[in-house]
Structure formats: C-alpha cells, structure tokens
Amino acid sequence: MIRADFALRHASQLATMLPREDDPLGRINDGALAAREGRVVWIGDDRDLEAQVTLDGDLLDAAGACVIPGLVDAHTHPVFAGSRADEFAERVSGVAYHAQQSGERGIARTVRATRDSDVVTLTELAAARANRFIANGTTTIEAKTGYGLDLEHEARSLEVLRQVAEQTRLRVIPTFLGAHVVPAGVDRRAYLRSLMDEMLPAFKPWAVFCDAWCEAPAFTAAETRAVLGRAKSLGYEIRVHAAQLAPGEGPDIAAELGARSADHLEFATPAQIKALAKAGTVAVLCPSANFTTRGPRPPIEAMREAKLPIAIASDLNPGTSNSESLPLAMSLACVQWGMTPVEVLAGATMHAAHSLKLDGLAGCLRPGSFADCIVVDAESPEAIPYYVGVNRVLQTVVGGAVWQPL
Ligand SMILES: [Zn+2]
C-alpha cells in the first residue's frame, strides 16, 4: 500500500500532460491521484485508488470536473506599483505603445511609482497578484524584477518576490531584469557598468535567471550581448525579450547564449527560429500583450516546422498585459493565432516548465512531480480555452493542499 496525506478522485478526465501515442495530453478517464509531503505518489484509475493507497489526510472530490496540472506561467512582471490605465485608453484611441516610452511615461513611470512605494506596499500588491494567479489556476510563475533599476531598488524587488513566495503558496522563480530599460536621468554607460559590475554579481544568490530587453526602446544588440554574456559567466540561466516590436538580433543572441527562453518573437525570422530550436531554447509567447498592443501574429508555422517548443505566458505587467489569467492567454492564442487547444495546454504546462528547468516537477502529473493541479469546470481539458475570459477553475491544489484565499 502507498501511504498518502492527500488524494483527489472522480476526475472525469485527468490530463497528466505526459504525451502518449494515443493521446498528446496523456489523460486518464475517471482518474485519481494521491500525494504525500507535497509530491504525487500515485496516479491512476479512480477504481484502483482504495486498493492501492492508504489515505491519512484530505480527500478532494473533483465530482466529474476535469483535472490538469497547475498552470506554469513562464513570463511575468509582478513587482510594481501604480497604474497606466490612461495609457491603455490612449492606445485604444490609436497611440502606439512605443510612442508612450519616452520621458517620464511608460516603463519610466512605473519605475518611479515602484521606487516611491515601500516594501510592505509592494509586497501587498504583489501578493494580491499572486492570489489572482492561483485563483486562475497558475501554481508556478517566473517573476521578473525590472521596475527598480538600481542596486537598492532591484534588491528590494527580489526581496518582495521572496516574501510573496513565503506568504502565498505560489511557486515563484525569480529573474533579474535590471536590463529592462535604462532608467530616466541616468547616463547609459554608467548604468550598464553598475548593471554588470554591481548588480549582476550581487543578485546571483537570489535570482535563477537573468533577462534583458533587446529592442529599440531598451538595449542594443551589443549591450544585450555584453549584459547577458556577463550574466552567463556568473552562472545565471538566460532569458531574452526578443523581436517583440520590430525585427532584431534578440533571437540570435538567445540562440548564441543557449538561453532557456526567447520571449515574444513576433518579428523573429525563420532562420532565427531554426537557430532557437537547435539551441534548445523555448519560445515564450505572450498573447495578452500582443492583443492589447495589436501586434502582428508570431510566426507560428515556422515554429511548428522547426519543432520549437512554444510556451504561453500571461506577461503580467502594468503596460501591456494587466492580467494574471493564463486561461485567457490560451484562448487568445487559439483565436488570434490559430494555435490548437492541445498546443496551448502544453504551452501553459510542460513547455513553460521546461523553460524554467522544472521538467518532470511542474506542468505535469506523475509520481515525483509537485502535487499541483487544478479542477476545472470544463467538459475536457481541450475545452478550457473555449471558455473566454471567465474563470472556470473550481479548485487549485498546491503542494498537495487545496488553496484557500488569504
Ligand atoms: Zn516582459
């Protein structure tokens, strides 16, 4: 008998997200799972549960709803203060996003509001976002800094992420994004020097990943290469904001450095996509940001042809995607880009987990994985993106315990 301290049963369809020849979602009809100390210890047919598992703990009855792994969001910016609702209103009236990135507007405005807030306020704001992630089915996020943009305030953003992970049950994988933009009023060279000589070495113990925005409003290809090359030599794993607003070298740099992810990629060329696939990089696409900026469709066919894994992310941020909902991002990727429900399900689970080096732990359900799963009011996992902009998540289980809002 297998001993467990948590079990879930009566899932009409339980998607393991471990592809089988007969089913890309590796589903079990009328499935059940059992967990102990936060990890799955048994998964199988509901009728076998009682014969194989001794339960000393909570039992969750999915009551015929479907169950999939907790969603994994591979691109978020959750540490910020202030609102840019007025910029959203301008954009719907025709102002371009990049036209809002000058002077004290756009990202610079969020940097000011974030610096003007104390740690307690920033932690409360980020924890509220963490709770919305969990309520919408996400159990693991990659979380970037990038609105502090100096040694003191970037350190504070990393501290906020640490506190949010401790206070909520969301799994938070921190990324240092000091190379978001050059902060207003600071000499470019001096900022790059501080980034490479002070911030990168100081933050290595706290941040798993280092990211940079390689694009005209932010950093040139040469600057991105210098920052991320230094980060790699210090032992960071690399992510790159690449080719979102215009063609550029971002995807090439991601491939050269063996980045875990290249993100956005609306303007990536077929050659760049092939290079990313060869480098083992994951394409992290951000449908909600693409939607609000009315960006072009990313080259999905070229990605499929190159067998480049595609992750789907919320890109939660105050400028282009004020949304913690991965199911909404999945719906948008289907409707706007023609991705299939199976592709977006894999994109919000296993491919996202792969980009975070959490293969086999998050984004799938099997013995040994995190006992993170969601019970969804949908007739099948494939039906999840069919429900647009409404939350159909009934329960979120994190580490073998049902999540209750704080
Ligand atoms: Zn981003």
Structural domain count, the chain = 2
CB 49 within 8 A of CB 38: no
d(CA 269, CA 260): 19
Residues 214 and 105 in one domain: yes
Confidence class of residue 229 from pLDDT cuts 50, 70 and 90?
A: very high
Residues in Cβ contact with 47 at an 8 Å cutoff, skipping those fewer than 6 apart: 30
Distance 108 CA to ligand 1 centre (A): 15
Q: Give bridge partners of residue 212 from the DSSP assignment.
A: 179, 240
Diameter of the chain measured on Cα atoms: 68
DSSP 265: -
Examine the pLDDT at 186 and tell me if it is beyond 70.
yes
Distance 273 CA to ligand 1 centre (A): 19
Q: Cα(45) to centroid of ligand 1, in Å?
A: 40
Contacts of residue 189, defined as CB under 8 A and 6 or more positions apart, other chains included, come to none
Q: Taking all residues of the chain, what is their mean pLDDT, rounded to a whole number?
A: 97
Rounded to whole angstroms, the Cα distance separating 343 from 147 reads: 32
Helices (H) and strands (E) in the chain, counts: 15, 16
Query: In the prediction, which pLDDT does 104 show?
Result: 80
Q: Are 123 and 222 found together in one domain? A: yes
Ligand 1 centroid to Cα of residue 78, in Å, is: 10
Residues 97 and 140 in one domain: yes
Q: Once rounded to an integer, what is the mean pLDDT over residues 86-113?
A: 89
- What pLDDT, on the 0 to 100 scale, is given for residue 240? 98
Q: Ligand 1: distance of its center to the CA of 17 in Å?
A: 26
Separation of 301 CA from ligand 1 center, angstroms?
23
Q: 12 lies in which domain range?
A: 2-69+364-402
CATH number of the domain that residue 95 is part of: 3.20.20.140
pLDDT of 296 reads: 97
Angle of CA points 271, 275, 278, to nearest 5°: 140
Q: What is the structure's pLDDT at 98?
A: 82
- Whether the pLDDT of residue 315 is over 70: the answer is yes
In this model, does residue 147 exceed pLDDT 80?
yes
pLDDT of residue 299: 98
33 and 116: one domain? no
How many A from CA of 315 to the centre of ligand 1?
6
- Please give the distance, rounded to the nearest whole angstrom, from the Cα atom of residue 76 to the centre of ligand 1: 6
Taking the centre of ligand 1 as the mean of its atom positions, its distance from the CA of residue 88, in whole angstroms, is 17
Residue 406 has pLDDT above 70, yes or no: no
Percent of the chain with pLDDT over 90: 95
Mean pLDDT of 88-102: 87
What tokens appear for 324 in the block? 């913690």
Residues 192 and 326 in one domain: yes
Report pLDDT for 356.
Answer: 98
How far is the centre of ligand 1, averaged over its atoms, from the C-alpha of 2 (Å)?
A: 43
